[in-house]
Amino acid sequence: MSALYTMDVLRLATSLGDWPRLAEPHASAEKRSVVCGSRIAIDITLDDQDRVVAFGQDVQACALGQASAALLAKHIVGRSAAEIEEARMQLTGFLAGTVDGIGDWPGLDLLASAQKYPARHASIRLPFEAAAEAAAHATGIARTR
């Protein structure tokens, strides 16, 4: 277990205050894990090219879920819904053992050792699942503007 909770993971987990919820997002999504009880709410605003320009979140999760949410938040601005969905799929496949690499989202390699601990997977996936849902919804809304 100590391989999971490294100093880098714990530092990330404490940085969540940098991304408070947005007052008027284009879309929001909330996800909850029945496995561990983690919960995350994500807000996203897109520009006219459907790229994230503003991001906010509220995270109630273990240190691994918090670290995953921080990694998502640090690198989501400028990303498209397709890029966020690709990161979600890559992370999910890696944790399940069906994909070799954890993907190219910066920093996710810090969570690679969690692959051996299935009980932690849901919390790690949650931020990317909520972000992919919010981004897809925001893209749909943006197209009707």
pLDDT, tens digit (0-9, with 9 covering 90-100), for 129-141: 999 999 999 988 6
81-121 confidence digits (pLDDT tens): 999 999 999 999 999 999 999 989 999 999 999 999 999 99
**Phi–psi pair at 39, nearest 5 degrees:** -140, 140
111-131 confidence digits (pLDDT tens): 999 999 999 999 999 999 999
Strand ranges across the sheet with 52-60? 27-32, 39-46, 52-60
Residue 145 has pLDDT above 50, yes or no: no
Continuous H helices in the chain: 7-13, 63-76, 81-96, 118-144
* Residue 31 identity (one-letter amino acid): K
Q: Say whether 29 sits in a helix, a strand or coil.
A: strand
65 and 38 in contact (C-beta within 8 Å)? yes
CA proximity to 57, closest of 87, 12, 22, 85? 22
**For all residues of the chain together, what is the average pLDDT?**
91
Handedness of CA 13, 109, 74, 122 (dihedral sign): negative
14-57 confidence digits (pLDDT tens): 888 778 999 999 999 999 988 888 899 999 999 988 899 999 99
Q: Say whether 5 sits in a helix, a strand or coil.
A: coil
Q: What is the pLDDT of residue 1?
A: 53
